[in-house]
């Protein structure tokens, strides 16, 4: 697979410093039942990397000492980690708001029939990937049959109260572009999702999050493989970076997620964001730092590692793990 990291490091992206830390994002491992084209993690069914309970316990200690409010669980498919339920239950007892970045097809996979009910019982916020409301487009991006499985899972979540007014169970969907383009305006796209999913399938949800594809890992490799020759491939990659840079908006800098978030990989090493994690750009820009060594550290005003991929968070309407900025 092509390595996009060397193409991103020399950057003119403005310097950033962390503000108040509110969110701890934990990558529970790269194991997933899908291998999506847009995946910046390169997750898939054959990946074996999984976070241990020991790392999870250290992360929860850090969250308590730092007065973290939100635990944001990602992967891979987080639910495929064998200690997922232990982590969620422990975090909820600790008073944390838990987010599950869920590939909805996992909820209808054999062996995971427990997941939807468990998430509802624990009042976990679900952020479910549905990169388009048209079935053929989703299957092209994520694999044959993924759309129908996703619809079945979303209907099940609605039955449990997710996405419905006053239920307290929040269901948000995620849109990713299918190619090297910026997402359309989030508000208008959200209404299109509501209209289509509601009229065709009776599905309701709280919000749509439009997220820009990052030129790293699998999507970066797709860009680099866009031409028949090496120069052509590099041109596709460079064109996408130019698109991100030309759409840069400085007003988005104050709202980027890395100012209030830390990211932990499956081994317990700490990064400024999930994207830096995938590029192996550790916290502080030096040697990897483990979460167990940061329990009492004050990370306020600490410098944040930046590179050219950061333009993906500030382009156009802006993009973060919470959608448009």
Q: Encode burial over 224-257: b for 16+ CB neighbours within 10 A, e otherwise.
A: bebeeeeeebbebbeebbebbbebbeeebbeebb
Residue 33 maps to a domain: yes
- Whether 103 and 80 have beta carbons less than 8 Å apart is answered as no
Instruction: Report the alpha-carbon distance of residue 208 to residue 324 in Å, rounded.
Output: 9
Residue 325 maps to a domain: no
Give the residue numbers spanning the domain of 140. Answer: 5-314
Token pair belonging to 10: 């020399």
Tell me, what's the pLDDT at 1?
47
Residue-wise pLDDT tens for the chain (325 aa)?
Answer: 456 677 788 889 999 999 999 999 999 999 998 766 556 567 788 899 999 999 999 999 999 999 999 999 999 899 999 999 999 999 999 999 999 999 999 999 999 999 999 999 999 999 999 988 888 787 776 667 889 999 999 999 999 999 999 999 999 999 988 888 999 999 999 999 999 999 999 999 999 999 998 888 777 777 877 644 445 667 888 899 999 999 999 999 999 999 999 999 999 999 999 999 988 999 987 789 999 999 888 888 899 999 999 999 999 999 998 999 9
Residue 321 maps to a domain: no
- Whether 223 and 3 have beta carbons less than 8 Å apart is answered as no
Residue 322 maps to a domain: no
Tell me, what's the pLDDT at 259?
95
Residue 323 maps to a domain: no
Q: List the CATH number of the domain containing 94.
A: 3.20.20
The Cα angle at residue 262 between residues 313 and 116, in degrees rounded to 5:
90
Residue 41 maps to a domain: yes
Instruction: Report the alpha-carbon distance of residue 191 to residue 226 in Å, rounded.
Output: 32
Q: Which pTM does this prediction carry?
A: 0.92
Helices within the chain (DSSP H only): 5-8, 53-65, 84-93, 115-121, 135-142, 146-159, 186-201, 217-224, 230-246, 274-278, 311-314
Residue 320 maps to a domain: no
Tell me, what's the pLDDT at 62?
96
- Whether 175 and 69 have beta carbons less than 8 Å apart is answered as no
Between the alpha carbon of residue 203 and those of residues 155, 161, 167, 195, 315, the distances in Å are 6, 11, 15, 9, 31
Q: Looking at the 3D structure of the chain, how many domains does it have?
A: 1
Residue 278 maps to a domain: yes
Listed residue (97, 251, 256) closest to 170, CA to CA:
97
Tell me, what's the pLDDT at 2?
53
- Whether 285 and 305 have beta carbons less than 8 Å apart is answered as yes
Total number of residues shown for the chain? 325
Residue 289: left if φ>0, alpha if ψ -120 to 50, beta else—which one? beta
């Amino acid at each position: 697979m092509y390595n996009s990291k060397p193409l991103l490091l020399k950057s003119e992206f403005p310097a950033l410093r962390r503000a108040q830390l509110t969110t701890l994002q934990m990558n529970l491992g790269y194991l997933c039942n899908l291998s999506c084209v847009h995946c910046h993690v390169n997750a898939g069914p054959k990946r074996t990397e999984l976070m241990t309970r020991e790392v999870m316990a250290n992360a929860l200690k850090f969250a308590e000492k730092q007065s973290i409010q939100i635990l944001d669980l990602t992967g891979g498919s987080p639910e495929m980690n064998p200690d997922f339920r232990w982590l969620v239950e422990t975090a909820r007892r600790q008073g944390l708001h838990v987010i599950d970045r869920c590939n909805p097809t996992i909820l209808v996979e054999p062996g995971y029939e427990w997941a939807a009910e468990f998430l509802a019982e624990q009042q976990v916020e679900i952020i479910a990937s549905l990169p388009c409301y048209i079935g053929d487009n989703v299957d092209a991006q994520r694999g044959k049959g993924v759309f129908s499985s996703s619809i079945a899972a979303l209907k099940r979540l609605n039955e449990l109260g997710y996405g419905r007014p006053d239920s307290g169970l929040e269901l948000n969907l995620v849109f990713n572009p299918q190619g090297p383009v910026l997402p359309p305006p989030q508000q208008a796209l959200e209404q299109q999702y509501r209209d289509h999913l509601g009229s065709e399938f009776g599905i309701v949800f709280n919000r749509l999050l439009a997220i820009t594809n990052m030129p790293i890992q699998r999507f970066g490799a797709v860009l680099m493989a866009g031409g028949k020759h090496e120069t052509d491939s590099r041109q596709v990659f460079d064109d996408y970076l130019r698109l991100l840079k030309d759409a840069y908006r400085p007003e988005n800098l104050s709202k980027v997620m890395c100012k209030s978030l830390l990211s932990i990989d499956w081994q317990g090493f700490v990064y400024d964001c999930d994207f830096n994690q995938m590029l192996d750009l550790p916290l502080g820009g030096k040697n990897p730092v483990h979460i167990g060594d940061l329990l009492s550290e004050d990370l306020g005003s600490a410098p944040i590692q930046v590179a050219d991929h950061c333009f993906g968070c500030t382009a156009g309407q802006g993009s973060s793990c919470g959608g448009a900025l």
